[in-house]
A and B are shown apart, each in its own frame.
Chain A
Amino acid sequence: MSQTKLCVENVSMMFPTPAGPFAALAPVTLAIPQGRFVSLIGPSGCGKSTIFNIIAGLLEPTGGRVLIDGMDATGTIGRVGYMLQKDLLLPWRTVLDNVILGMEIQAVPLRIARERALPLLQRYGLAGFEYLYPSSLSGGMRQRAALLRTLLFDTDLILLDEPFGALDAQTKLQMQEWLMRLWSDFGKTVLFVTHDVEEAIYLSDELHVMGTRPGRIIATIPVNLPRPRVRTSALTPEFLAIKERCLQLLDVNPTGSERVNEAA
């Protein structure tokens, strides 16, 4: 077992409401080893995004702490690459200048940042789009740019919050392949949030299934399917067994699981 990259220790979150304190997150503990691809799945409102905001330092947890490389990083920003659901590309910047935003904020000289970004844009499917504005990009392309921006921020750990949630099914599959390629090229540690069970199994080394009220982790399932994975992996008994287990945990009617999953 390799070294632990991220450790979430007993992190809990309470929000005050007029009806009394609301527990968004019961104490949650997670340990993510270096270089792994780990997914969180769960119904909406289970606190997936809350965990992400806490790890990224955008939200101060009510209790517990976040360790990155064994050092306390609770409430500090700029430690992890965080890609939110929306691509949030700045419409007044070209794709190239959007992608280097992280480096620019970290005071990397513009010329060097652009030099570093250009070959990556070309290698990862944005060749020819470098000097265009985001408004002329398709949804999949925008998502690629947003992901490259997160990668170029140059942190070992990246958080992806439902990056493909808004894409059509076809584009989504392409983007999953693309993400796998990036992940194996860069060797980053990825924490991925999705509510698409199949996507989570296909991409991950390990799944954490979450429950609601309060948000908590109800099961951790290792995914020991061989890599590189192909689409037909989804038809193997191992894959289907994991999928069934997840759907049961997520309280989806197992007999109707296929249809429910199509809709997800």
Chain B
Amino acid sequence: MTVHDGSTAGALAEIRFAEQTEGAKPGARAVRRLPVQKDWPLRALVAAQVGILIGVLSMWEIGARTGWIDAFFWSYPSAIAQTMAIFFTTGDAWTDISFTFRSTIFGFLLGTTTGSLLGLSFWWSRNYATIVQPYVICLESIPKLALAPLIILVFGIGLVSKVAVATALTLVVSTLTAYAGVKALDPDGEKLFYSLGATRMQVFRKLVVPFCLPWIISVLRVNIGLALTGAIVGEFIASQHGLGRAILYAGQTYDIALVWVAVLVLSTLAMVMYATVSWLEGMLRKGVRQ
């Protein structure tokens, strides 16, 4: 490499140039194009997805029939399908689904509502917020599921205890998120309201609540998942109904096909609820223009 002129700038340019071209003659530069990913047509993508599903299921079926897979521990698709039919025709499917669904929804509603109200209430008094905050943080760091056995003892083995576990899981998340909204409030916004002669209640209703709504809405999807987890764990510990109880019972009696059936039904329930809440979230977001 030769340095044509003695100036530092010239030398620097030469060095940079040498790095880029790595031995190519000066003046030429490697031709590179923007990497482009080609999208497959939708049909091909769906076909690939379905193909994978069918592939895994048939390997499982064949594996179990030929003995590569221990059918006692893993069961196999056709047996699971049969059990599914029995579960829905003569079994407790609808009772269990309804039980789990109700505990999830009640827990979700109760936890989200009280949590959001609690979080918003911190706006009213800084002193109160400062006093209560460490307790809320403590409550957040406790693994709430560890308290589930205690909750079952207190509230009994019926629906109420499952609702209580689901509430415990969702309440803290909602509280903290609503409080985060309160803390993000622009003090100048409050100043504007007070300069217009507003009362505290007017500021709360017309500024704080609408401002924090997007925060509150943003946890709905998280909370529906948490509420379902809470309901299932509650059923694991002690219950007479529910999908969680069905899974536990089937596992204890080595009815592996029934475990799979209950898990499948549970997943479907979770997906339906998740999709509904996502839709609701979208509608609410549109409603509050954020």
On chain A, the residues within 8 Å of B288 by CB distance are 92
Stretch from B104-112, B158-166, B194-202, B218-226 contacting the other chain: B194-202
Contact residues, B186-209 vs A (CB, 8 A): 186, 188-189, 191-198, 202, 206-207
Cβ-neighbour of A105 out of B186, B198, B213, B290 (below 8 A): B198
Given A88-B186, A90-B210: A78 and B289 interface contact (C-beta under 8 Å): no
Given A105-B202, A133-B289: A88 and B195 interface contact (C-beta under 8 Å): no
Asked if residues B210 and A56 are in contact (CB atoms below 8 Å), the reply is no
Asked if residues A78 and B210 are in contact (CB atoms below 8 Å), the reply is no
On chain A, the residues within 8 Å of B197 by CB distance are 77-79, 105-106
Asked if residues A91 and B289 are in contact (CB atoms below 8 Å), the reply is yes
Q: Scan A216-254; emit 1 where CB is below 8 A from any B CB, else 0.
A: 000000000000000000000000000000000000000
On chain B, the residues within 8 Å of A80 by CB distance are 195
Cβ-neighbour of A58 out of B189, B195, B202, B289 (below 8 A): B195
Given A105-B202, A133-B289: A88 and B196 interface contact (C-beta under 8 Å): no
Q: What is the distance, in angstroms, from A132's C-beta to the closest C-beta of chain B? A: 11
Given A58-B191, A84-B188, A84-B191: A90 and B196 interface contact (C-beta under 8 Å): no
On chain B, the residues within 8 Å of A102 by CB distance are 196
Q: What is the distance, in angstroms, from A94's C-beta to the closest C-beta of chain B? A: 9
Closest residue on chain A to residue B198 by CB atoms = A105
Contact residues, A168-189 vs B (CB, 8 A): none
Given A58-B191, A105-B202: A91 and B290 interface contact (C-beta under 8 Å): yes
Asked if residues A92 and B186 are in contact (CB atoms below 8 Å), the reply is no
Contact residues, A61-98 vs B (CB, 8 A): 77-82, 84, 86, 88, 90-92
On chain A, the residues within 8 Å of B188 by CB distance are 84, 86, 88
What count of chain B residues pass the 8 Å CB interface test? 19
Asked if residues B289 and A92 are in contact (CB atoms below 8 Å), the reply is yes
On chain A, the residues within 8 Å of B192 by CB distance are 82, 84, 88
Asked if residues B289 and A77 are in contact (CB atoms below 8 Å), the reply is no
Asked if residues A78 and B195 are in contact (CB atoms below 8 Å), the reply is yes
Asked if residues A105 and B289 are in contact (CB atoms below 8 Å), the reply is no
Residue of B188, B194, B196, B213 contacting most chain A CB atoms (<10 Å): B196
Asked if residues A56 and B195 are in contact (CB atoms below 8 Å), the reply is yes
> Is A101 an interface position by the 8 A CB rule?
yes
Cβ-neighbour of A82 out of B195, B198, B213, B289 (below 8 A): B195
On chain B, the residues within 8 Å of A90 by CB distance are 189, 207, 210
Asked if residues B196 and A101 are in contact (CB atoms below 8 Å), the reply is yes
Q: What is the distance, in angstroms, from A165's C-beta to the closest C-beta of chain B? A: 14
> Is A202 an interface position by the 8 A CB rule?
no
On chain B, the residues within 8 Å of A92 by CB distance are 210, 213, 288-290
On chain A, the residues within 8 Å of B193 by CB distance are 105
Residue of A92, A102, A153 contacting most chain B CB atoms (<10 Å): A92
Asked if residues A105 and B196 are in contact (CB atoms below 8 Å), the reply is yes
On chain A, the residues within 8 Å of B198 by CB distance are 77-78, 105
Asked if residues A88 and B189 are in contact (CB atoms below 8 Å), the reply is yes
A56 to B194, CA, bound (A): 9
Closest residue on chain A to residue B193 by CB atoms = A105
On chain B, the residues within 8 Å of A82 by CB distance are 191-192, 195
Q: What is the distance, in angstroms, from A86's C-beta to the closest C-beta of chain B? A: 6
Q: What is the distance, in angstroms, from A166's C-beta to the closest C-beta of chain B? A: 13
Residue of B193, B207, B288 contacting most chain A CB atoms (<10 Å): B193
Write the residues of chain A forming the contact surface with B, with a CB cutoff of 8 angstroms. 53, 56-58, 77-82, 84, 86, 88, 90-92, 101-102, 104-106, 133, 135, 153
Known: A53-B191, A101-B196. 15 other contacts (CB 8 A): A57-B195, A77-B194, A78-B196, A79-B197, A82-B192, A84-B191, A91-B289, A92-B213, A92-B289, A102-B196, A105-B193, A106-B196, A106-B197, A135-B289, A153-B196
8 nearest interchain CB pairs?
A: A78-B197, A82-B195, A102-B196, A56-B195, A105-B198, A105-B196, A88-B192, A92-B289
A-B contact pairs, 15 of them (CB 8 A): A58-B195, A84-B191, A84-B192, A86-B188, A91-B289, A92-B288, A101-B196, A102-B196, A105-B193, A105-B196, A105-B197, A105-B202, A105-B206, A106-B196, A153-B196
